[in-house]
C-alpha cells in the first residue's frame, strides 16, 4: 500500500495540479464551430485568479495568448475566447468560438497562486469544415422518385395484410391439428372395436362347438363318416372337423 501512495505523491509533485484542478483531457470541433469545456477546482482555490492559455515552447512549456477571468464571476471575453468563473459551483467555463485549423494544439486551464500554479493540459482538435457530415439528404434520381411511392404503398399494404393473415393462419393451424388428433383417435377406436368384434366372434364359435359336442355325446362325431341322423350336421372350424 505504501509504495502506491509514494508513487501518487511523487506524481503530484512532478505534475502540478494533481487533483486540485480537473477537466477534460481532449475536446474537438470543426472549422467555424463553438466548443466549451468546464474546469473544476477545489475549495482552497475559490478566490484565486483563473486563466486559459495555449502551450508554446519546445523544451520548456510556457503560456501564450493568456486570458484571465473577470471579477465577481463576470464573464470575460478576449477575441474568440470567453472565461466565466463560478465560485459557488467551483467551476471555470471556457468557450472557444469560430474555430480555425490554427487553433489546434495543447492548452492550459490554470489557477494563479504563490509558488507553482495549479493547472492541467487540454488537447484541442480542429477538423476541416469539408469533413463535416452533410445534414441535407441527397436528391433522389427520377427513377427512385418513380419507385418511391410504389415501395411506400407496398410497405403500407403488406404490414396490415400480415397482421390480418397471422391470426387466420394460427387458427387454421389449430384446426388442422385438432382434425388430425380427432382422426387419429377415431382410427384407434375403430381398430380396437374391430379387434373386439373378431375376438367375440371367435369366442362364439368356440362356445357353439362346445354345445354341439355336449349335445351329441362325449364319443360321437356328428360330422364323421358314420353320421346317419336326419338332423343337420353342425361343424365349426376346430381341429379334426372337416
pLDDT band at 225 (very low <50, low <70, confident <90, very high): low
Tell me how far apart the alpha carbons of residues 21 and 132 are, in angstroms, rounded to a whole number.
33
For the cut 60, the answer to whether the pLDDT of residue 204 exceeds it is yes
Mean pLDDT of the chain: 76
Query: Cell 371367435, residue?
Result: 202
Instruction: Give pTM, 2 decimals.
Output: 0.49
96 and 34 in contact (C-beta within 8 Å)? yes
Q: How many CA atoms lie within 13 A of 212 on its CB side?
A: 18
Average pLDDT over residues 138-153: 49
Could you read off the pLDDT of 156-198 as tens digits, one per residue? 444 455 556 677 788 888 888 888 989 888 888 888 888 888 8
User: Count of CB atoms within 10 A of residue 100's CB?
Assistant: 11
67 and 52 in contact (C-beta within 8 Å)? yes
Q: Give me the residues paired with residue 81 across strands.
A: 78, 96
Amino acid at each position: 500500500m505504501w509504495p502506491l501512495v509514494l508513487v501518487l505523491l511523487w506524481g503530484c509533485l512532478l505534475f502540478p495540479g494533481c487533483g486540485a484542478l480537473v477537466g477534460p483531457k481532449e475536446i474537438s470541433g470543426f472549422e467555424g464551430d463553438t466548443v466549451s469545456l468546464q474546469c473544476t477546482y477545489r475549495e482552497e482555490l475559490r478566490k484565486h485568479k483563473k486563466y486559459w492559455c495555449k502551450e508554446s515552447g519546445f523544451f520548456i512549456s510556457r503560456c501564450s495568448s493568456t486570458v484571465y477571468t473577470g471579477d465577481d464571476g463576470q464573464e470575460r471575453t478576449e477575441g474568440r475566447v470567453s472565461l466565466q468563473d463560478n465560485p459557488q459551483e467551483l467551476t471555470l467555463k471556457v468557450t472557444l468560438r469560430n474555430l480555425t485549423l490554427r487553433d489546434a494544439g495543447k492548452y492550459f486551464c490554470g489557477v494563479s497562486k504563490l509558488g507553482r500554479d495549479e493547472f492541467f493540459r487540454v488537447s484541442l482538435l480542429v477538423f476541416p469544415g469539408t469533413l463535416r457530415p452533410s445534414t441535407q439528404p441527397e436528391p433522389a434520381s427520377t427513377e427512385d422518385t418513380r419507385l418511391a411511392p410504389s415501395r411506400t404503398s407496398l410497405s403500407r399494404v403488406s404490414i396490415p395484410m400480415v397482421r390480418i393473415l397471422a391470426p387466420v393462419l394460427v387458427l387454421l393451424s389449430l384446426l388442422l391439428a385438432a382434425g388430425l388428433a380427432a382422426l387419429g383417435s377415431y382410427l384407434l377406436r375403430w381398430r380396437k372395436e374391430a379387434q373386439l368384434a373378431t375376438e367375440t366372434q371367435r369366442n362364439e364359435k368356440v362356445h357353439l362347438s362346445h354345445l354341439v359336442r355336449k349335445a351329441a355325446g362325449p364319443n360321437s362325431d356328428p360330422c364323421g363318416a358314420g353320421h346317419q341322423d336326419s338332423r343337420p350336421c353342425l361343424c365349426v372350424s376346430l381341429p379334426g372337423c372337416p
